[in-house]
Structures are given as C-alpha cells and as structure tokens.
Structure 1
Amino acid sequence: MLTSQGEGSITQSGAVHGLGGVGKTALALHYAHHHIHLGDYSLVWWIDAMSPNSIEQSLATLAERLVPGWAAGAESASRVAWALQWLTWHPGWLLVYDNVENPRDLSPYTGALHGGHHLATSRRTTGWPDHAPTLALGILGADDATNLLCRLAFKGGSTTARERADAAVLAAELGFLPLALKQAGAYLCQNRGISIDAYRRRLQTNMREAADGIDAERTVARVWHVTLDALRKADPLAVSLLEVAAWLAPENIPHSLLTPSDSPPHQIAKAIGTLAAYSMVTDSGTTVTLHRLVQTVLRTATPRHWWSKAWRRRLPRGRAQAERALLRALSSPTSQETADEIRWDSLTPHLVALAATTPAGHPAAIPLVNAYSIAAHRLHQQSHTARAIPLLLTIVAQRKQSLGDTHPHTLTSRNDLALAYQDAGDLDRAIPLLQTTLAQRERTLGDAASDTLTSRNDLALAYQDAGDLDRAIPLLQTTLAEREHSLGNAHPDVLTSRNNLALAYQDAGDLDRAIPLLQIVLAQREHSLGNAHPHALASRNDLALAYQDSGDLDRAIPLLQTTLAERERILGDTHPHALASRNDLALAYQDAGDLDRAIPLLQTTLAERERILGDTHPHALTSRNNLALAYQDAGHLDRAIPLLQTTLAERERILGDTHPHTLTSRNNLALAYQDAGHLDRAIPLYQAALTQREQVLGDAHPDTVASRNNLASAVKLRLCGNQRQEPQQPA
C-alpha cells in the first residue's frame, strides 16, 4: 500500500480516506505520476466516483479516448462495456476513483477487473472490503505544514527565522489543512510584497464563514475571501469564471461553459491561468476542476451589500451565466445524432448540479426547465430515474410558481417526481405525492379523465410496492372498469390495467383470478401488437411467472426461455428487460431443482445489474438476494449468508426497516441462519419480521403467515434441542 508521501505500491485495490481538504486527491495524483514515471502502468485513468452514474460516464469517456471513431457512434452503455472489455484484455493499468461517496459503488469493477490496480479516495472511513488496504489521511503535522507553506510561498527559496516562525503560526491557524495551505501559499507566491504576518492579519479581518459549515469549510472560506480580493484586482474576469463554476458539477467543467460570449479567447485563457496560479482550479487544457469546498464557499458567500432589496431580487453571482452557458452548449448544432447523445451525457451532471443548487425564491426559467425535462427523461430511459430527482424537484417548483398548483403540467410533473421517489425506494415521499396528485386531478378533471385514471393506477402500484394490497386492488379494479367503459376491451391502456390487476391478485396469492386475466392480456397483445412487441413479451413473462407460482413449471419454463431469447435478440443482452428475463428464468430453474443452470444465470444478472445500475439499485439488491438463496439451496451457506447480510443492511439503509423488501431480506437471513444451525440469530430476526409484517401487511397476508410459521418452527426446534432443519421456502 502507498504511504502518505505517495510512495509504495497498490497490491490490487486500495483506498485513501480522510476529511475534505486534507489532500486525498493530491496524494493519489502524486502516486499516479510517480508510477507513470517509473513505467509501472500502461494506462492511468481518472474516474469521478461521486455516483454510479459518474463512474460510468468516466468509463464511457475512456472508450472515447481510446477509439474516438467508434465511440462517436455508440451509446453510453456500449462505450462503458467496451472500456471494461478493453481493461480485461489489457493488463497493467491504474484506475483512480476520486471522491467515492459509497464504497459499494466500486465492487462491480474491483470485483471483475483483475488485470491492474484500483485506487480510491473518499471521506468514508468504513465500508471498504477486507481485502482492500486503506490509508487514513489526516491533517499535516506542524513541521510538515510549515514546510509546505514555505515551499509554496517562497518557491523553494530560503526563508528567514522570522518568516518560518510566521509560517508556523499561519499554518496552525489554518488547521494544518493541506487545501487551505496550498491556496494560502499560492496567494503569497503571487503577491511577494505581502508578508506572511500581514496575510495572517488579513485573514483575521475576513471571518465571514459559510453558513453552518464544517471546520474545513470555514478555514477555506477565510483563505478564499483574501484570495478573491486579490483576484478582483489582478483579473476580474477570473472571478467571474470562478463564480460560474461554483454552480456546476465540480469535475470536468468545459472551458466553453465558463466563457462569456463577449470575451476574447486569449482573455479567457489568461483568466483560467490566473485561477490555476492561485490554486483555485486545476486546468486540464480543455476542462477545469475545483474543490467541492471551494464551490460551497462560493455559493454561500454573502455579498457585502446583501441588505439591498434590489440585490436580493437578483440571482446569485455567476448563476445566471452558468444557466445561459449550459443552454447555449445544449442548443448548438451537431453533425450527427450520436454526437448529440455524447454531449447530453457529458453535460447532464452539470444540469443536475444546477438544479440541486437552485436558489430559494428564484424558480428556473422555462428554457432551463425544458432542458431539465429532457435530461430527466434521458436518465429515466437509462434506468437512472432516481438520479433525476433534483431535476424533477426544480421542474415542479417552477411549474407550480408559474402555472399554479393544479395546472395539468404541474400535476404531471408532480406525478413524475413521485415515480422517481418510488424508483429510489422512497415510498414515504412517493405515496403522499401520488395521493395529492390523484385528489387534485379528480377535483379538477373528474373521476374518469385519462390523467385521473393514470394517477389512480400509479397510486395503486405504489401501494402494492408497499405491500398494502387492501388499498391497491380496489383502485386497480376501479381503474380497469373505468377504462373498459370509456376505451373498450382491447385498448392498450385497458390491457395495462388488466395486467396490473392480475399481478396484484397474484401478489395476494389469488392465482385463480390472476392467471385467466394474464392469459387474456397475452392473447390480445399478441393479436394486436405481434408476438415480439415489448408489451407482448412482458405479458408472456408475467404469465410464465404466474404459472411458476402455481407450480406449473412445465408451462412456465418454455415461456420464460422464449421471452429471454426474444428480448436478447431485440433489446440486447444487457437491457434491463433482458436482465429481468434472465433473472426470472434462473428462478424457475431453481424451483425445478436445476441449480447448475440457475446459479450461472443469477451470477451474470447480478454482475450486469451492479455494473449498469450500481450496487444499491433495487434491482441489484433483488439479484443479490436471489443469488444468495440459490447458494443456500446448493448448500453453500458460506457464500449465501454474507450476501444476505449485505442485502439486508442496504435495504434497511435505503428503504427503511418496514419496507416489504426489507422484511423479505430479514426473513431470508433468518432462514439461512437457521439452516446453518444458528437459532440464536434466527429467532430474533423471525420475531422482528413477524411483528413488522403484521403491522404493515396484516395478519392474513401470505408473507405474514409464512413468518408466523417460520418462527413457530424455529422455537419448536430450540425447545427440542435441535439446531438444524430443512428451511421453508423463503417468503
């Protein structure tokens, strides 16, 4: 593992963690440069690891760099897959994952790519795998901090005893924080006529702090205010560019987004150079990056004349230009459709950052809202709906302010936001929004209006996700009846309602009502749409699962095999629907006792979902749970239990203790503990699962009954002194 000086080597994967501003990124960069100089790596690639989406974007950019001609015509997912394949076949690389927010986001890559080294930087001190060594990076020691400050301020020249003593005092006041020391040193180097002591006194008179900031933020704020005063005198344009960058994503900000339309290129280049000289940005030549703490300070700084009512009505400095620059970049013509796709992929993180920092009292303008809508739609198409939440929140706020709370466009936006919350597993926010939207549509449009029926359907599905079938089924029945009355039996919306009602019946264990409905829907969709239409394939898959639930595997498995083959042919191997089909077929094989075919399919599905959706996406958690149960069926409890523990922990964190999926995970882990002979661990989990299922699902729900039976069986075994049993089918 590397040392705090950036020396040494990484065995396979490693992580550097510590507070913001302590120099994690700088250390990783030094390590990379040191080993490039030694010739240890054939390729070094820097990855923005704040989210699964940003990791994928960085990998897609790697493909663009290596094969620009092909990448220009490929979708983002294809570019990511190509980059991963290239890394698999070309060992000797280093991937640096910078600013990791969740260590589990890396497991699809660190677990699958073994031909090189993985190095992560993060504020997270826990959650790293046991096999990955970590280095805790703290603040500098007093002597090291003083040496760094002197080296930066005097460019390695000699210092007097007085200057060194003043540097020691200043370093202590800056909390020995490397980021603050670096910016202070850069300021002193650019302003040789100012002594260290004089600079320290200026800091003491500039104590305006970021609101509610942490210590690192307050320290950076003090340094920044003095540096900004100097920049205003040296190059006012540099300050304007910095204020624009504060509202965008911190990494990979194109120079074009910072460029005012009336500024000559040479002035822009000079301003960026000034910012780099003062260590306010890192310039790659085409993009700039700045530290998140600096962005926070810039956005929350209070202007001296904030008391002015006229000023308070204005957008914060730089915000308006950031909005104009993004709209200009998105509207400029491109030569081909794929180039437009790449542009949207690269600029969407900046749109999300802009939406997430919308100032209070300043709803977004209509052109910007339109751009947010396109970005949100693209994220939904890429199965990243939850990441569109900042965009949708801003859209709802703007439409409510400009159109009113009950305008059809406002209600549509609120419904979209609720569905994004539902996709993220946040039913506590999704359901009240859906309830409000339905009530307002019923009041303004009427009970039978198309949008009202859509709201009723969406609310019913959210209730179903929450396990509340007593409220879901009546809503679905009403929606189907209204749609049949107004649209006829064969309208696509009627078929969707009939299918949804059938699935709710199936969830309630009422297969006698579910299967006939699903058979009707499949026949009508095949007749009107054709056998290979996505909706017909979805119906075939749903009917197969109902047959499987009824124990009729002879009819279920052929249908699932056909559906998977068609989806792979039409949509591709890694499309979410193809992955769902692969998962379903694997579970059917498992039910049939064919674990040799089930487990490889489940392993592939989990790996693809983690890579495409991220480790904590609900579908990835479902795949992890399913693979664990297959390992358990095969007698591999040493593989099953860790996966079940991880899945339960993630579902508790993301979905909450009482979400139906969390309750399923708790029950499944208890069954695995019982199968391993650990009744002392199993029984408390059974008790918790039963109590919560009774509260959430009701006493008579099939899952509640299964929990009650599981607990009774475990207690009976403990009383008999028997620590092992054949576990029941997990609920």
Structure 2
Amino acid sequence: MTDAQTPPASGGRSAAAGHSSGVIATGDQARIEQRTLVLPPDALLAAIPDEAISRLNNLPATDSHVFKGRDDALAALRELPSTGTGIVAQSVRGMGGIGKTTLVLLHAHAYLAAGRGPVWWIDASSTAAVTAGLASLAVALNPVHGALPLDEAADWAVTRLQGRTGWLLVFDNAEDPADLRPYLGRLSTGQVLVTTRRDLAWQDLGTSLRLETLTPEASLSVLQEITGCHSDSDAATLIELAEELGHLPLALQQAGAYLAQTRTSAESYLAQLRSDPAGVLAAGAPGDPQQRTIAQLWSVTLNTLNARDPHAVTLLRILAYYAPDPLPRHVLTPALPTPRAVDQALGTLAAYSLVTLTEATVTVHRLVQTVLRTIPEPAPIPEPSGLRRFLRRRKPTPASTASESALSLLHGAMPSRRPDDVRDWPEWQTLLPHMQAVSGHKQGPGMTPQLAMVLGQASFYLGARGQAPEALPLKERALQITEAALGPDHPDTALRLGNLASTLSDLGRHTEALPLKERALQITEAA
C-alpha cells in the first residue's frame, strides 16, 4: 500500500521528498508492505521551464566526423512525424559495425538543433537499462524523482511525455522487444527510434529501416576524408582496401583512423591485414583507447550468441570458410543432428544480423568470416551422424575443425552426376566459389584426398564449359595435394597427371603436356 501526502507549505521547490516504510504481519502469515512517500507540492511539475524542455538532452558526441553514403536513410528519419500520428516506433537494424548508432546519433543532434525536444538517449540492452534510462529522464525533468524507485520514476517520465509532442527517445542497442513493449504502446505523441543488431519481430512495434554496407564510391570517400589521401595514385589502393574490409562503416573508420594517426601507407595496412587479420582488426588508432574495433565488437556478439545457441556458433564458424557469396542452405543440412536444428541455428544468426538468409541461400559478410577465422576454436567440432553419411572415400573421425567440416559438407553436396552433365551446371556454378574458397584454407592431413577430389571435380566442370585457363590452377593444386599425400607412384597421382595434361593440351601447351602423359602411363602400367 502506498500513500502520497503533501506536507505543509515549506518553501516550494526547496522541500525534499520524504520516504518511510514498514511491514505489517497478519494472523494468516500474510505480509503487507506499507510505504509513505511525502512529496513537495510541485513534485509532478518539471524542474525546468517549459520553454527549456525542448533543449533538454543527454546526447553523446557524434562518434564519427566523416559520414557518407547514408543520405537516403537520414532523409527517411527526418520525414518521421513527431506530433502524435499513431506511429509507435522506427527500428534501425543491421549487423554490428554497420553504422546504426552513428546514423541515429546524427539524426538526434539535427533534431535537437531544429528546436525540438527533449531528446533522450537510452541504453536498451536490458529491461533494467531501459527502466534506468527513463528514470534518468524523470530526474532531469525534476530532481525530486531521484527519491522514487526506478520503475515509478520511469512511469512518471512516460506520463510526462504523453502530455506533450515534439520529443525524441532513442533506445540504443535493443536486444529484445519485450524490454520495450511496456513503454512503446504508451509513447505515441513524439518520435521513438530503436537501434538493434537483431532482426527481431518488431513489426507490431512500428516500422523498420535496415542498413546495408556502403557502396564502393561511399567507402572510398570515407577513407579519403579520414586519411586526407585524395590523389588518383592513392585511390586504387584505397578502393582495394575498402573491398577487403567489405565496405563496412566501422571497419573503414577503424582503418582510416589508424592510417591517419600512424602515417602508415594504405599498401602497408592492406598487406598487414591480409597477413595478420587478427592483429590488425583488433588494433585501434594509437592514443584512442575508447575507439571500438571490429574484433572487439564481434567477439562480444559471439560470446553472447554462444550462451544462447551454441549450434549457431558452430554453423557460423563453418560458414567462415566459404566464399562471401550465397551458399545453398542444403549444403549445411548434415552439419547438425537434425535439419530443424540447422534451420533454428540459421534463424538465430539472421536474428543477430550475422548472416543474410533467404529460403534457399545463406550469405556471410567477408569481414565477419575473417574475424571468425582469427578467433581460436574452443574445441574440435563433433561430426553428427548426418554429416558422416556425406563423407565419401573417407573414414569418419570423431571430430573436425570448422574448415574440415566446411570441406566435408561441400564434398557431400556435390551433384551426383558427372560435372559435364549440363543439367547440373547451375548448381556447380553456385558451388564453385565456395570450392575455391575452402581450398585456400589449411586442412588437416586426413582431409587432403577429399580436397583433391573437390578441386578435381570443380576443374572438370570448368573444363567441360571450355574454361581451361580457370581449370588449370585447380588441377595443378589437385595433383600437388595427391602426390604429397599418396606418393608419386599412386594410381590417383596418375589420374591427376592425366587430367592436368589434358587441360594443358586444351591450352595448346603440348610440350608441357607430353611428359605428364608419359609419366601417367608409366605409373598405370606399373600398377
């Protein structure tokens, strides 16, 4: 039971709130908590003049001095009504590092500069954080609410906002719609923005704006503005660096700040990124300990995800070894105990904006893949029975690394007909970039025959399509792997020699093809 009383006149705003409590025990062992809260006469009024409320804010400084390629998104936010039209909330979604917070922060500063407010920024990572953020608004409007429990102060802030228009609330980094649901239905007289990395079901809470990576032109502009390198000679390397970073805004900011601060050349940074991605992606600009880095951001996300759904992390680590191109979902079907488990894990990854998911394909950003490959795996990934059914010409082992699982799954997903059967060419073309990507990563000794098989089949497909120049390096690699694993006189080595000789002949390089054919014949006759 709560009683609110007004004390005798005591000088208006100088009066402090009083609070007392007690517990009443009844004969049937029930306990009743009784609290008495004494408020000054003006406790329900704002502590600042009404005309000053429009300038009230707690906005942090913008975290980026260079902002490119988001004009359409900013325009969409500017067009949102703020005078009570029934639109409850606008969510801004996207993967970590895509620039959600920066976009909304710029919009919030512009909103405040236009003379509208209050503008209040709230950490929405948990229910407690949301309540505390709203309570802090209540205290800013009138310090007397600092004596109230947080939930009551938060409710007062919501009630206060219901009585006016033109305000803006930002719920940043929301994890769960349930954290906001108690408040959003009551906040319809101003503007509410929600940033979230999770692609959750916000449909009943308002409209959504999904951010994608920047265009190559915008990425180049970001790097040029931060580094000051505007010459044509610099542009080519910066374009290559932007491509390597996957046009992700935070990664571009991180790289640009490092280049500007250390006076490092873009060529040197790009070389380091390729040779030591773990070290480069974890390093911010010297002297800026507050700068977020891609490695930090996604390591936190990965830890959160591992606690919620370990199967999702298993799939994500496997996906890190494929190409950043759409991968047919059926490739992953044997990766977990049941197809339903795969679907649920992919849904979790999509909910965290770590993959792009369609009914038929799954795609991972190239920089997410790079970061994942730099994070040590906690333990070998168990091979479920479903995966073992797809392992051809290989004795199953109790566990595999993520790269080995990626190869095994791809090997099992190859079409059953010969690669020169045109009916399967669309599927071969879809799998080809992933075959090339997997072959570029280190595999365990027991995986080499399987890797040679994948390369051989991929090169067979390319040769059947008349793409001998593209098939040649794959056949050379298949021969190298097979000879190292099985020896120079093994029949499989002879097969690889003959295949390579055939491709060299197709390219008109007959003098190189002849000794390979002769050697293959000698091995076959000896066998």
Q: Which has the larger radius of gyration?
A: 2
Higher relative contact order (CA 8 A, sep 6+): 2
* TM-score calculated relative to the size of structure 2: 0.40
* TM-score calculated relative to the size of structure 1: 0.30
Q: Hey, which of these two has a bigger chunk of helix by percent?
A: 1
Q: Hey, which of these two has a bigger chunk of strand by percent?
A: 2
